[in-house]
Structure 1
């Protein structure tokens, strides 16, 4: 069994605690308007195909520097649960911390098995309004809410990600509703507010897709601060 991998990073500092080895898996069921890696969408366009052991071997080469652990990101890692499961089993045997960066859209028994070998979940809840979530991602919100509720049930540590996109995810009422919802979960350790950027626009052009947010500017510091204040008002660690 081989995992289809788009790329990997040996010195990741934004994908979980410490310096981490990050695998970016190929394939994603979401079509987020602001995606900066649309070249990960199609499952059959992987640059690498590695067995779980070969993937771990890459980690071991730089283990002296990678003190934080291994993060599997995407694309969407849960599209390849068998590979992630076997990789994480190897990581646990080697005493390596495991994290997964996911949209929470794919939630089933295979997902649950992967989570049993996962130390930390980095979860994107991209919007709290179901209609706006679907406009943003082309997929329904409900599976992701089921996912976070299961993570709370098994008390799995979670870091939440929220991309602040002007005119899409910055509505004050929506920010309050999002924060009110996620603040009920005691396993949420922190929230990262990620400012929208256009660094991936050239990738959209390369794959022949229209980038619909080309006229949207990144949020100002004032807009970021407003979201931070709202989230903190619900007791969230931002």
Structure 2
């Protein structure tokens, strides 16, 4: 399992794809969103396939990012927002992510980590000390479906999720509902049963599959295998939402 950046990287530099200055969907309030470059997963529905490879990104310093982030503090304070690091997979650049979050905490800015949890736990622990909220994408609970969807193992994500519960780290669970892939009832119910006992789960976000990233796959020459898959129907969405709710979970 690849866990760290495979080039010479100091704690003060990293490789990113882009930033979004006023995001509203990756954590509470208005957020400065940093999209890191590099990802070990190969999700069939990925809408950021251009974040896969380090060589396609750009090198930035933590100081450059913090200078830019500081311009938006008034928006964070008025909306309850902050900084979110997503990707790609942020935990492939642990020193970089930790340095950003450390600097954010020094100036009292809320920090959110958006991750698949596919990481050696010991690498993630130091980052979590400076993380206020985790958005954890658990893409499937059935190991076979998970591997078909991502090309990697589910187990590291489950270990990561258990640790978040152990340290009571505020967490939002994200689950992408893909018809004929992640929608089997035993898969949905298994995930609901797994997270229901965890007291740190603030809510579950059920995200309907979409094909907004399909054009990127075509541009990059990748084989997009979900061309014929349609977004889930309202009925299927409600069915899955109700399963999670039946376990006492708050669902969005």
Say if 1:27 and 1:41, in contact at 8 Å, map to a contact too: yes
Which residue pairs with 1:202 in the alignment?
A: 215
1:55 matched residue in structure 2: 65
Shift of 1:158: 0.4
- Kept in 2, the 8 Å contact 1:73–1:100? The answer is yes
TM-score, structure 1 normalization: 0.98
| Aligned equivalents of 1:10, 1:106: Cα separation in 2 | 27
Map 1:19-168 to 2 at 5 A.
Answer: 19-46=30-57, 48-67=58-77, 68-168=81-181
Q: Is the 8 A contact 1:88 1:118 kept in 2?
A: yes
Matched, 1:188 2:201: yes
CA distance in 2, matches of 1:63, 1:206: 36
Q: Which of 210, 216, 228 is the equivalent residue of 1:215? A: 228
TM value normalised by structure 2: 0.92
Mark the runs of 5 or more structure 1 residues left unpaired by the alignment: none
The list of structure 1 runs, each at least 4 consecutive aligned residues, that deviate by more than 6 angstroms after superposition, is none
The alignment covers a number of residue pairs equal to 237
Q: What SS does structure 2 have at the residue aligned with 1:66?
A: helix
**Displacement of 1:156:** 0.5
RMSD: 0.9
- Quick check: 2:121–2:159 contact (8 Å CA) kept in 1? no
Query: Could you list the runs of 5+ residues in structure 2 that have no partner in the other structure?
Result: 1-11
